[in-house]
């Protein structure tokens, strides 16, 4: 009997890597008889290592300064730092949060975190905001971040009372890992006091509270124009999360040929290539066509969390996608997972139901329990039961009912749609001739009579006459008229 393969988990700070590093990983994967690699939900990469080559793989990764751990171990030793770098310049972003801002913080992590850390821009919607234990969320003040702490088993997150300076993010994360998560009896007050005593932080006390719009995730697949400039971005998603090594190598090669320095991984087991020049688009289209890649998956299919390498979960997702496509149902704004995630960022959870030993025969029939996040907020810590038991065939119908419940639960959106948008009308004080109805606008003046713009009606000479009909100044009366009727420079 062959020894069981080891699952290698490659840790990439912020989900960022160079084409050169990715080529090296493909080389290692090929050396271990892999034809595909997979992505994880923490912006990491996973593939198998042959049992006889574990030491060789460790030496290879160490030589190339690539962080890793063995997923086959009982508990993760380290965690990957998640960032929204992947969304920068692709979707709407906070102005000051640029690639340099992410790189500066990520480079400060000179240790391997054991807890989940997120560094996220709240304006973008691709990367979940609160899926970490420590969630650094960009503020409106340049180089300052909100901090929200989520401890397992606690319903409410702890919000840090001050904004954290970019340079202090790695230090406070390291200290909090040792204090807040090794000793969960430490209260919020004790936590803040201890950190302030041990670290000299450059914090900001007067700041705006965090404002977040409805969390409708964007469509992240295909080739599109970037939010800034004329460059393009390409998003790649394979529904089985098995990316051909040949395809990945071709992507890296094309990046190197065309001067693209970074590849970004999403938390949705997919990846993006940014800054593709317009003149190189045909090259990318040809490469995509050569591999016959589908770039038109439905948005419903893009936002799922599945256990790694779980064939049953993959089959269930495929079945549900097919059923939803048949009835053309809308699920925009919802995210789904099969199995309960340890740190939730999903709206709807589908769990296979298992019966006790004395009813073990019932496990022969596939039945599922369905839960949804409180207020359908994918970053909530609370899940409510929607259906305790649904058969395999009933499941699509139940999820369709739940999606309708979600849309019915959006009173703010509903009320906004039902109300006409207020129209802002700017009015000007003008004087209108009663004889011919021509108008004197102070902001325009009267070029025909040599009256400069900005001259008020009162300041006009008493001998002023209407330039249209010659009526005296006394023939004008004051009126309010819409500004848009006049061309004012």
- Structure confidence by residue, pLDDT tens digits, 446-474: 877 888 888 999 999 999 988 877 889 99
Contact yes or no for 37/29 (Cβ under 8 A): yes
d(CA 390, CA 368) in angstroms, rounded, equals 5
Contact yes or no for 236/274 (Cβ under 8 A): no
* Segment among 1-5, 59-63, 338-342, 385-389 with least mean pLDDT: 1-5
Contact yes or no for 115/182 (Cβ under 8 A): no
Strand partners, 158: 149
Structure confidence at residue 374 (pLDDT): 84
d(CA 416, CA 418) in angstroms, rounded, equals 6
Residue 489 has pLDDT above 70, yes or no: no
Phi, psi angles (nearest 5°) of residue 165: -75, 145
Structure confidence at residue 361 (pLDDT): 43
Structure confidence at residue 104 (pLDDT): 94
Q: Would the CA dihedral through 422, 424, 425, 428 be positive or negative?
A: positive
* Segment among 120-124, 158-162, 342-346 with least mean pLDDT: 342-346
Residue 25 has pLDDT above 90, yes or no: yes
Which of the listed ranges 187-191, 251-255, 311-315 does the model predict with the highest average pLDDT?
251-255
Name 362's Cβ contacts closer than 8 Å, sequence gap at least 6. Answer: 355
Q: 324-381: per-residue pLDDT in tens?
A: 777 766 677 788 888 865 666 788 898 887 655 544 544 446 788 888 888 888 877 7
Residue with the larger pLDDT of the pair 362 and 72: 72
Residue 434 has pLDDT above 60, yes or no: yes
Q: 34-71: per-residue pLDDT in tens?
A: 999 999 989 999 999 999 999 999 999 999 989 999 88
Structure confidence at residue 342 (pLDDT): 60
Structure tokens at 373: 């996040």
Structure confidence at residue 343 (pLDDT): 61
Structure confidence at residue 5 (pLDDT): 80
If one counts every other C-beta atom within 10 angstroms of the C-beta of residue 485, the result is 10
Reduced 3-state DSSP string for the chain? CCCCCEEEEEECHHHEECHHHHHHHHHHHHHCCCCEEEECCCCCEEEEECHHHHHHHHHHHHHCCCEEEECCCCCCCCCCCEECHHHCCCCCCCCCCCHHHHHHHHHCCCCCCCCCEEEECCCCCCCCCCCCCEEEEECCCCCEEEEEECCCCCCCCEECCCEEEHHHHHHHHHHHHHHHCCCCCCCHHHHHHHHHHHCCCCCECCCCCCCCCCCCCCCCCEEEECCCCCCEEEEECCCCCCEEHHHHHHHHHHHHHCCCCCEEECCCCCEEEEEECHHHHHHHHHHHHHCCCCCCCCHHHHCEECCCCCHHHHHHHHHHHHHHHHHCCCCCCCCEEECCCCCCCCCEEEEECCCCHHHHHHHHCCEEEEEEEHHHCCCCCCEEEEEEEEECCCHHHHHHHHHHHHHHCCHHHHHHHHCCCCCCCCEEEEEEECCCCCEECCCCCEHHHCECCCCCCCCCCCCCECCCCCCEHHHEEEEEEEHHHCCCC
d(CA 288, CA 221) in angstroms, rounded, equals 13
Contact yes or no for 252/260 (Cβ under 8 A): no
Distances (CA, A) of 418 to 403, 422, 425: 21, 12, 21
Structure confidence at residue 448 (pLDDT): 75
What pTM value is reported for the model?
Answer: 0.75
């Amino acid at each position: 009997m062959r020894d069981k393969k080891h699952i290698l988990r490659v840790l990439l700070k912020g989900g960022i890597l160079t084409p050169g590093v990715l080529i090296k990983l493909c080389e290692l994967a090929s050396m271990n008889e892999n034809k595909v690699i997979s992505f994880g939900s923490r912006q990491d990469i996973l593939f198998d290592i042959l049992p006889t080559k574990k030491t060789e793989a460790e030496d290879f990764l160490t030589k190339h300064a690539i962080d890793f751990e063995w997923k086959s171990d009982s508990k993760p030793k380290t965690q990957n730092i998640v960032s929204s770098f992947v969304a920068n310049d692709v979707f709407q972003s906070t102005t000051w949060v640029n690639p340099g801002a992410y790189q500066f913080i990520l480079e400060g992590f000179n240790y391997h975190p054991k807890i989940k850390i997120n560094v996220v821009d709240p304006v973008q919607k691709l990367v979940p905001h609160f899926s970490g234990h420590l969630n650094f969320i960009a503020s409106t003040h340049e180089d300052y971040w909100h901090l929200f702490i989520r401890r397992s088993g606690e319903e409410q997150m702890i919000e840090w009372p001050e904004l954290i300076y970019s340079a202090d993010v790695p230090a406070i994360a390291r200290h909090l890992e040792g204090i807040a998560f090794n000793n969960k009896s430490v209260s919020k007050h004790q936590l803040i006091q201890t950190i302030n005593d041990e670290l000299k932080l450059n914090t900001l006390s007067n700041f705006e509270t965090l404002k977040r719009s409805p969390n409708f995730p964007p469509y992240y697949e295909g080739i599109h124009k970037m939010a800034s400039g004329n460059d393009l971005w390409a998003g790649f998603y394979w529904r089985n999360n098995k990316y051909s090594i040949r395809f990945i190598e071709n992507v890296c090669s094309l990046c190197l040929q065309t001067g693209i320095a970074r590849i970004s991984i999403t938390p949705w087991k997919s990846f993006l290539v940014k800054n593709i020049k317009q003149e190189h688009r045909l090259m990318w289209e040809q490469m995509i066509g050569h591999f016959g890649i589908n770039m038109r998956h439905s948005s419903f299919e893009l936002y799922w969390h599945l256990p790694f390498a779980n064939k049953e979960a993959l089959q269930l997702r495929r079945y549900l996608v097919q059923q939803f496509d048949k009835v053309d149902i809308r699920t925009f704004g919802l995210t789904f997972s099969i199995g309960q995630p340890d740190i939730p960022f999903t709206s709807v959870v589908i769990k296979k139901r298992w019966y006790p030993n004395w009813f073990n025969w019932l496990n022969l029939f596939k039945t599922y329990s369905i839960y949804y996040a409180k207020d359908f907020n994918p970053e909530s810590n609370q899940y409510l039961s929607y259906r305790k038991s649904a058969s395999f065939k009933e499941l699509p119908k139940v999820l369709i009912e739940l999606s309708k419940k979600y849309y019915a639960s959006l009173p703010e959106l509903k009320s906004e749609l039902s109300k006409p948008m207020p129209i802002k009308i700017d009015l000007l004080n003008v004087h209108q001739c009663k004889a011919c109805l021509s108008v004197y606008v102070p902001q325009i003046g009267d070029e025909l009579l040599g009256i400069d713009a900005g001259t008020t009606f009162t300041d006009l000479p008493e001998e002023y006459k209407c330039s249209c009909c010659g009526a005296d100044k006394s023939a004008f009366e004051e009126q309010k008229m819409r500004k848009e009727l006049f061309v004012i420079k």
